[in-house]
Structure 1
Amino acid sequence: MPYLLLRGVLHTASACIFLLLTACAEAPAQSLSTAPTPAPAPTATAIPSPVIAAISRPLLSFEEWRSLLRSDAIAAGIDAELFDRTFAGITLDPKIIAADNSQPEFTRPVWEYIDGAVSVSRVAQGRLLKAQHRPTLKAIRSTYAVDHEVLIAIWGMESNYGSNIGSHNVIRSLATLAYDGRRQVFWRSQLLAALQILQAGDGPAQGLIGSWAGAMGQTQFMPTTFSQHAVDFDGDGRRDLWSSAPDALASAAHYLQASGWDNGQPWGFEVNLPQGFDYALADPEVRRSLAQWRALGVNPVRAIDANEQNLATLFLPAGHRGPAFLLLNNFRSILKYNNSTSYALAIGLLSDALDGNPGVQAAWPRNDRQLGRSERIELQELLTRKGYELGPADGIIGANTRKAVRAFQQTLGQPADGYPTQELLVRLRASL
């Protein structure tokens, strides 16, 4: 699901007072991670905040907070009657705060995530829908220069082709998060954007329905993303991502176009690595042309039609014992939709399957047990104690953690693939 910051929302004096009173500090953006997202969940870029440290509970009552929000919404152009009608009967939802504060272990292996994402049934249904919507998809490609398959893949991953768009009242969810969530500035911007959607008449008659985090429609757009990238492609005068597949697909295409999608080029592809390969090159900071990778003996598993001068990075989602992929610019565009490499890999592989291409050829190390969140935090803490600089121990295996893991693997004489394992954690414990 894509997340963008709201631009152009007016910040009035009362907004500043509200921020200082609630003293809400914005959380940093999530690091690039291979952890699969278990459901539509926020991975948005954080809004810089000038305010000081967060407190555990708001100082304002919900009614006082809503009164300040009303003033700011009206100053931002929201009709007072619409605001009052929309917020009539809105109460806080404790289940939303519980979901926002949850800390899942994320122990599901990437191969299980891929298995579910690229299931036989999802591929079969996607191919059927691709044929059914071919005229619309051609028109979308002509307008936005985005390939059919990636749009169908996003549609399938985000809402199971429109069959699961969520059941939460988006206004209630966002109001709860903006009042008492961990990133109140971000959620408040989403709430104001949702009110703008209602004022424009784009939402369904029954109100805005979506995920617990406020993602909406068949392609699960956050309100600020909707404001910037949702389009009326079926020409009915409304940007309807809930019940209009043409609007939903075209809006996703518009988003990918703005994210730098290179039409006709692959997202990436599986490769074979030569004996004695330097696995330390599987680093997102190492970008080489396809021709340069070929010169190192890195070759596609199947024939690929791609510009040899395109830059690519090598990706080992399960370490040196699992499949290897070269990732191109379009993979980065998918990451802007959802900043999880597992998600982007699933979208790429599903789009390949929809185009009739075979799945992953190399075997996954399915007997490996994944590190739990507490173990990942311990790994990070131990690496920090050994002098590696990787930031706070948050349990997210991002670029800095992988860099530190590579460095430690090199001291052990192991393949420096940056992939944390149980065996590596044991060796790390013993080294201190």
Structure 2
Amino acid sequence: MTIGLLTRRSVTLGLTALLAGCVQSGGAPSGGGFRAPDPAPRPVPNAGWDAWVEGFKGRAAGRGITSGTLDAAFRGAGFLPEVIEKDRNQTEFKRSLEDYLAIAASAERVSLGQAKLREYGGTLAAIEGRYGVEAHVVAAVWGLESFFGTRRGNVPVVSALSTLAYEGRRGEFFEGQLVAALRILQNGDIGAAGMTGSWAGAMGHTQFIPTSYLEFAVDFTGDGRRDIWGEDPSDALASTAAYLSRSGWTRGLPWGGEVNLPAGFNTGLLGRGKGKSAAEWSALGVTAAGGGPVPGGGSIISGGSNILGGGPAFLLTQNFNVILRYNNAENYAIGVGHLSDRLLGRGAIRASFGPDAAGMTIADRQELQRLLTAAGFDTGGSDGVIGAKTKAAISGYQASAGLAVTGEPSLELLRRLR
């Protein structure tokens, strides 16, 4: 199986990645660990939303949604302005692949994931036996989507989806998701009060949107309900495996892995759709970063600004494309693959990503965070990812020192702190 090669790029995180514990951009602290969830948003009166709901009820009834389901779903629902704000701002948040992997495979996430693999080992083994998707891969999706169930979302889904459908930027899409959510309620899998999730309507341990739930969710426990919301993650994990399996997952084929490229490598081979077999890559001098043969066959990406300048390169197989079916963001798919490897005890990325636009390496940024925290300006961790809390710490230090307040890291600032 072969796919092409990729060059490095930063991507705007997809809906599920934006909700993946602290893989969220924007409000998350700079550290890659767990943070307490935000309070659930409160509805506010909105006459326009009220009128839209009345019109929608007629359309939903025409699509087979009963009056009883509609009454139960909208009892207590309301317009959520916070949802509109997040929807309009999401495209502003980007992470480099280096930052994304630092968060996606943080020490805390790996440690918790390995504990969850032990705790749910029997369940995950049974799921793997039924659907053919390896336990560590399913667990990695769980880890990115909800920090292993600790951040499943507390936003009422009917309120969120109706708000987004009424607002209209992607009205047709969100109205379709709302109808799907009502079908879930009508089927009896969950009650309206228990149907909570993200601001964009993704739900449960592995953040299914309603239409994907209707297509792929399974009742693995056999209790008559496809429960992806409760404390027991079994149905959610099995549903994720079912999704990947039906999307073409090949058991035993790695997602890819880090590779070394030979001197003089032909960069014209880069790009999706230019894949080669493992034997062909090996003949070109490509080797696995840890030594040994190329892991499978497929494509190679670079995590550095220059693929021949020391940045890491990753070989991608067809299973990488399957992960993209779950969330079509390349950083996310690499994050799932790399986290799945780390859960098995494999090592971190070997090659350096090199300096960022400010000329700072991840080691520089980590040192900056440690020194700021030691000076009394808490950065919330020292993972080298410059998030909101690190920027606030920088601003606080700059103000205290009589410097221009920019909130941006720099080598000059690092030298001053030293």
Instruction: Indicate the residue corresponding to 1:35 in structure 2.
Output: 11
Shift of 1:296: 1.1
CA 1:281/1:306 → structure 2, altered by over 3 Å: closer, same or farther?
closer
Instruction: Indicate the residue corresponding to 1:85 in structure 2.
Output: 72
Q: Which of structures 1 and 2 has the larger relative contact order (alpha carbons within 8 angstroms, sep 6+)?
A: 2
Residue 128 (str. 1) matches residue 115 (str. 2): yes
- The DSSP-based 3-state class of the residue aligned with 2:314 is strand
After the TM superposition, which residues 11-410 of structure 1 pair with which residues of structure 2 at under 5 Å, given as runs? 34-35=10-11, 37=13, 40=16, 61-102=48-89, 104-204=91-191, 206-243=193-230, 244-302=232-290, 310=297, 312-319=298-305, 320=307, 321=309, 322-369=311-358
CA 1:195/1:355 → structure 2, altered by over 3 Å: closer, same or farther?
same
- The DSSP-based 3-state class of the residue aligned with 2:299 is strand
Residue segments in structure 1 that go unaligned for 5+ positions in a row: 1-31, 44-59, 371-432
Does the 8 A contact of 1:217 with 1:241 survive in 2?
yes
TM-score (norm 1): 0.70
Shift of 1:104: 4.5
Give, as a single letter, the amino acid of the residue that structure 1 aligns with 2:302. L
Shift of 1:188: 0.7
Question: Partners in 2 of 1:133 and 1:42 — Cα distance?
Answer: 25
Shift of 1:139: 1.0
Instruction: Indicate the residue corresponding to 2:35 in structure 1.
Output: none
Does the 8 A contact of 2:295 with 2:315 survive in 1?
no
Question: Partners in 1 of 2:98 and 2:18 — Cα distance?
Answer: 23
Does the 8 A contact of 1:33 with 1:339 survive in 2?
no
Shift of 1:67: 2.6
CA 1:42/1:226 → structure 2, altered by over 3 Å: closer, same or farther?
farther
Shift of 1:237: 1.2
What's the % identity of the aligned pairs?
Answer: 41
CA 1:38/1:227 → structure 2, altered by over 3 Å: closer, same or farther?
closer
Does the 8 A contact of 2:14 with 2:327 survive in 1?
no
Give, as a single letter, the amino acid of the residue that structure 2 aligns with 1:177. L
CA 1:209/1:304 → structure 2, altered by over 3 Å: closer, same or farther?
farther
Give the stretch that moved more between structures: 60-69 or 129-138: 60-69
Question: Partners in 2 of 1:33 and 1:72 — Cα distance?
Answer: 42
- The DSSP-based 3-state class of the residue aligned with 2:95 is coil
TM-score (norm 2): 0.72
Question: Partners in 2 of 1:61 and 1:304 — Cα distance?
Answer: 63
- The DSSP-based 3-state class of the residue aligned with 1:255 is helix
Does the 8 A contact of 2:10 with 2:96 survive in 1?
no
Residue segments in structure 2 that go unaligned for 5+ positions in a row: 1-7, 20-46, 360-418
Give, as a single letter, the amino acid of the residue that structure 2 aligns with 1:355. L
Q: CA RMSD in A?
A: 2.3
- The DSSP-based 3-state class of the residue aligned with 2:337 is helix
- The DSSP-based 3-state class of the residue aligned with 1:270 is strand
Shift of 1:75: 2.3
Residues matched between the structures, number: 321
Shift of 1:302: 2.6
